Chain A
Amino acid sequence: MLSRGASATCVFLSQLRGYCTVANTEAEKAIASKLKEALKGVTRVEVQDTSGGCGAMYRIAIVAEDFKGQSIVKQHQAVHRILAEDLKRWHGLTLDTRAA
């Protein structure tokens, strides 16, 4: 489990390595893994439970090469497809996607 210090280090290292995952709880890490496996060239993924730990709402930010040339709607729809099963159980989702 990443501590606050470790995430700060990760952000710093990301500037060196150009790659970073920010996900602390088991649920957040599982979501981050799903996204990294399904999308090509993921250089950054952040998953945050915004429902106070209830697993009902998430904020997800992704920077991936797979998003190149896609409109924001198409980028979001790609993420929806990957997380389709999870989405059925969630109340809401805030997405921030960007091409690498």
Chain B
Amino acid sequence: MSPELKAEIDSVIANNKIVVFIKGTRQFPQCGFSNTVVQILNVMGVPFTDINILSDDRLRSGMKEYSQWPTFPQIYINGEFYGGCDIMIEAYQSGELKEQLEIALNS
């Protein structure tokens, strides 16, 4: 990943409480897993930033290295890598996600 791109990603993650790197956009997700994450966040009613990794191949391959995670979606909460779709689904079903988001948004 080029230093410029890395700096941009660092900045987006640092300046936005919830950031999701997805295939497609929040209006038009282009993958089931990415869509699930978008819908969960919509239902939770929280503000979030979506980044379409399909828009740029350097972003798509770069984020796999940056996050040390081979698939998308990739979720960041409060500047930290949170996980992918499975992790969010489990946290959503257990009620843990609601807590985690509240803590994140209030910090």
A-side residues, CB < 8 A to B, are 72-73, 76-77, 80, 84, 87-88, 92-96
Q: Which of A76, A92, A93, A94 is within 8 Å of B83, CB to CB? A: A76
B-side residues, CB < 8 A to A, are 33, 68-71, 81-84, 86-87, 90
Q: Which of B68, B81, B82, B86 is within 8 Å of A95, CB to CB? A: B86
Using Cβ atoms and an 8 Å threshold, which residues of chain B touch A87? 70-71
* Main SS class of interface, B: mixed
Task: Determine how close the nearest CB of chain B comes to the CB of A41; give it in whole angstroms.
Answer: 22
B68 touches A77 (CB 8 A): yes
Report the bound CA distance from A12 to B84 in whole Å: 32
Report the bound CA distance from A90 to B65 in whole Å: 17
- Knowing A92-B33, A95-B86, say if A73 contacts B81 (CB, 8 Å): yes
B86 touches A80 (CB 8 A): no
A77 touches B71 (CB 8 A): no
Using Cβ atoms and an 8 Å threshold, which residues of chain B touch A94? 86
Task: Determine how close the nearest CB of chain B comes to the CB of A64; give it in whole angstroms.
Answer: 17
Q: Which of B70, B82, B86 is within 8 Å of A84, CB to CB? A: B70
